[in-house]
Structure 1
Amino acid sequence: MKRPYTILVAVDQSENAKRALKTAIWLAKSTGARLIAVHVVPPPPVAEGVAPTTLERLEKAYLSMGSRILADLAWEAGTKHGFKIETLLETGDAREKILAAAKENSADIIVIGSRGMGRIGRLLLGSVSQSVVQNARIPVLVVK
């Protein structure tokens, strides 16, 4: 018997990420798939002259906020949509961590929100969704 499909959805607090989550829940409910929401916390910025204890406190604050984001999304998915989601909290580069989470969890598809940047913004900064699309070995659904 084939394992159930696994959908990995990347989430943050943006409107596009919220739409991506709704789309991922719809897909998971429609197909009976397992749904995993991943939130990636960036490492604290390293600046010369900043005490290590300050960086540790900042990292703890980032992780606490990320945990709250995931807890809120899981609660909303269960309450509003009647669907249980698994959550992952990662620290590091979002592009790398999303792809790694998809691989480690044998995801069949990644659902991610588009930042909606214009062409110049993408050229100068790049975007997480663009990088995931280019480097993923599985289908990626970008939600606007």
Structure 2
Amino acid sequence: MHNVLVPFDGSPSAKRAIQYLVDSARSNPNLSVHVINVQTEPTFFGNYGSASMIEQFNAAALEHAGAINAEAVALLGAAKIRCQSHEVLGEVVTEVTQAAAKYGCDTVVMGTRGMSSLGNLVMGSVASRVVHGVPVPVLLVK
């Protein structure tokens, strides 16, 4: 585990994934982390949104993603772990899968909310969809 992708949404479980990497860095000084926050693009129905309005919504979403990622970057930086922040618009699993390939990540480390078996079966969780979507190992931190 040298080049890691961390999907980060600011949740307690995502923060535990960052803490796991901070703890792991003591025995892995060459660790490099890519922190990604994916924001869903706004959906407009009908002709109620102009191009400039859509651009403003997208820019605000990316700004919000950057603010969320800043917390993870600060924690990693305080531990002297090399990291890069990535903010994107799209569908979470698709963007995480593409980012893992784009940045040459050998592992994805992410939190999980511990959804019940029935809820996971019916709805599917982002974590389980990432496990099945990416071609590299996924470490889930509870």
Question: Structure 2: where are the runs of 5+ without partners?
Answer: none
Q: Share of identical aligned residues, percent?
A: 28
> Per the alignment, in what secondary structure is the counterpart of residue 8 of structure 1?
strand
Deviation for aligned residue 1:72: 2.7
Which residue of structure 1 lines up, in the alignment, with residue 34 of structure 2?
36
Residue in 2 that maps onto 1:143: 141
Q: How far is 1:44 from its partner?
A: 1.0
2:15 aligned with 1:18: yes
Q: Which residue of 2 aligns with 1:123?
A: 121
CA distance in 2, matches of 1:58, 1:29: 40
**Structure 1 Cα separation of the partners of residues 93 and 122 of structure 2:** 16
For residue 2 of structure 2, what is the aligned residue in structure 1? 5
Structure 1 residue matching 2:82: 3-state secondary structure = coil
1:48 match: 46
Task: Extract unaligned runs of 5+ from structure 1.
Answer: none
Query: RMSD over aligned Cα, in angstroms?
Result: 1.9
CA apart distance, 1:109: 0.7
Q: Distance in 2 between matches of 1:47 and 1:141?
A: 38
Name 1:64's counterpart in structure 2.
63
* Structure 2 residue matching 1:85: 3-state secondary structure: strand
Letter in 1 for 2:69: L
Distance (whole Å) between structure 2 residues aligned to residue 27 and residue 46 of structure 1: 43
Which residue of structure 2 aligns with residue 98 of structure 1? 96
- Segment drifting more, 116-125 vs 98-107: 116-125
Report which stretch shifted further, 13-22 or 43-52. 43-52
AA aligned opposite 2:121: L
Could you tell me the TM-score, scaled by structure 2's length?
Answer: 0.86
Matching residue within 112, 115, 127 for 2:110: 112
Specify whether residues 69 and 125 from structure 1 end up closer, same or farther in structure 2 by C-alpha distance, changes over 3 A only.
same
| Cα deviation digits, residues 45-80 of structure 1 (max 9, x gap) | 23235323443332222111101112232123223x
> Are the counterparts in 2 of residues 7 and 28 from structure 1 also a CA contact under 8 Å?
no
